[in-house]
Amino acid sequence: MGNNQMVQTDLKTLFSPLKIGAKEAKNRIVSTSHAVGWDNGTGIINERHVKYHERKAAGGAGIIMTFGSASVYEKSAASYGSVSLWNEENEPLLKELADRVHAHGALIMSQATHMGRRADSSISGRPIQAPSAIPEGVHREIPHVLRTEEIPPIVESFAEAAARLERCGWDGIEITSFSGHLIEQFWSPALNDRTDRYGGDFAGRMRFSIEVIQAVREAVSSDFIIAFRMTADPKTDALGLDQEDMLEIARILDGLGSIDMLSISGGTGATYRAQAAVVPGDTFARGTYNHVAKKMKEQLSVPVLVAGRNLDPAQAENALTNGDCDLVGMTRAIIADPDMPQLAQKGEFSQIRPCIACGECIGRLYSGMPVICTVNPAMADDSLDNLIPVQHQRKVVIVGGGPAGMEVARVSAIRGHEVHLLECTDKLGGKVYFAAMASERPHYGKHIKWLEQELDRLGANVHLHKKGTVSNVLDVNPDVVVLATGANPRSDHYITDVELLDGKVSINNKSKLLVYDREGKFRGPSIANFAAEAGASQVEIATPLWSISEDLDEMQKPELYRLLSEKNVTMSPNKNLFKTKEGTPVLEDKWTGTKRRIEKDEMIVLIGYEEGDNRLFDQLKSAAPDLEVELIGDAVSPAD
């Protein structure tokens, strides 16, 4: 939904308070729990965690949920980035964080879990634990089977974590089974083959979760919120549980009278494809799980929170008024712009920086890297969040109207500089403008559209059809020049993905394409999918790497593989591309040496063969040695 449509939307329900147990949320917007990977594997909270969650509260969200997959149990492995709720060393900053979030009128809660077989022992060295010796399809590690007497201490660890949080001034805890954690593993008839009281029939498989909830309730006061997060649609048969089973489980948990809120999403960690549905990307429908949350809300007595691609305030309002839920998780939208709630409440919709659903944030955790945001650099470096007005205005000339150049122009204008942006084409956005044409990324171009609106609002001078030449730059009489000139192909003998997307090279039902991708991320599969959708008779994607999209995270890769497989795109890893002495391109298997000559009627598209365009840097330094010139973005080093 566009910004103009949002302006017409009444957000009365979204910004109405809601009673949750004994407490009240000031509005219905929730930043749901997720890990960030800022603890260097220690599980210890630091000031960066505190600032991050405080910033969300300052932006206006009603509930701040923290610490995805936070571990309650010391004797089992957790996962990358998990905070250790069992560790008393965290208490001082737990107290500090609660105070600082409360100062902005928000409630604060922490997720709490035992990951079971979904954990990873490679870092901690502690064995993973599960109901049965059945490895997860994603992590594949064979777990230690919990003995009956080993289960009560885990139950007690949940209670101790809740008591610690309440003691530190927190408003609640979110117990979770979501994404294939230990509680869900006990529920599953496919994963739980126990014969003791924690297995067997449905009642036996429910026992562990019931004991956890009851122990937590007994450990805290009636003022303390107990939420429970679960999948409403596992998106796989691997659990032996479907939507109706999950609804029945929710009814039983609700019937205990101990839960104050149910948090609903979808997917599970049992398979790669179902795991991708846990943090649904741009190939999934907006409001991915709203329909199953609505079924639960209709049959439960407690407020229902839904998470999964509720992307903007208008959509969130519609979910509430449609009866899908009582609260809306808008985590990635808040990562993109923590001020989204207060901007929406003021009606300043066009200023909300949109999430583009690229998956870089949470997806990085699955590759063992800390969370960042593609469109909000302040998420990784909070010093960028405070743009101090300058005392002395300077004339800043930016060459290149891609996202890097546009962001420099925006920030410079906010700080009070006179900004001139030179772009040689008739449009802003650089390569992102063309990448956004791919059907699997319908939201990808929203950021450059937002940047363009912001430049207009801030009064930046944008000069289209203006080449970045020495004379054009110096004619503006700049005080400082920023070169965001991007990257150029290293070879002019092959086709680029931009040429296909731009229509400079056409595709028809007789076209044959070989995409050769040494980058190993999103671009290669994306252009292969584009070519197949455009009707090419034959599409192959080859790479010298172990697999197609080798370095793409596990949250994005499954959907790309699905798209390519559905369109019969040939995937050829471990291949080298070279030319013979006669100039004939050949694709060679790296291990067998088997060669395939590329036919003359095959178009070859190269991905990852670029170099930064920094020619203007030397030219300017030669023409004006004292001029301050900076290189940024792909002009420094091309990135995917």
Contact 633, 405 (CB under 8 A): yes
- Look up residue 31 and give its amino acid: S
- Per the CB < 8 A criterion, the answer to whether 86 and 73 are in contact is yes
What are 434's two structure tokens? 């063309």
Tokens for 391, please give them. Answer: 């005392």
Written as one string, the DSSP assignment of 142-165 is: PPEEPPGGGHHHHHHHHHHHHHHH
Q: Any idea what DSSP says for residue 429?
A: S
In sequence order, what DSSP letters do the residues of 96-143 get, joined into one string?
HHHHHHHTTT-EEEEEEB--GGGS-HHHH-PPPEESSS---TTT-PPP
Answer whether 319's CB lies under 8 Å from 28's CB.
Answer: no
Give the integer Cα–Cα distance in Å for 633 and 640.
11
Structure tokens at 209: 């979760």
Residue with tokens 């496919």, as numbered in its chain? 190
Q: Would you call 34 a catalytic residue per the annotation?
A: no
Backbone angles phi, psi at 91, to 5 degrees: -60, -45
Q: Which residue has the tokens 């109207």?
A: 401
End-to-end alpha-carbon separation of the chain, Å?
A: 28
Supply 200's token pair: 């067997």
Q: Are 225 and 260 in contact (CB under 8 A)?
A: yes
Distance, in Å, from the CA atom of 426 to the CA atom of 424, rounded to the nearest integer, reads: 7
Pair of tokens at residue 188: 């599953």
- Looking at residue 354, its amino acid is P
Cα 63–67–69 angle (5° rounding)? 120
Bridge partners of 107, per DSSP, are 63
**3-class DSSP assignment, residue 482:** strand
Q: How far apart are alpha carbons 84 and 67 in whole angstroms?
A: 9
Side-chain half-sphere of 135: how many Cα atoms within 13 Å?
9
Q: Which of 139, 181, 420, 447 is catalytic?
A: 181
Amino acid identity of residue 634, one-letter, is: D
Are 554 and 279 contacting, i.e. CB atoms less than 8 angstroms apart? Answer: no
Name the residues annotated as catalytic: 181
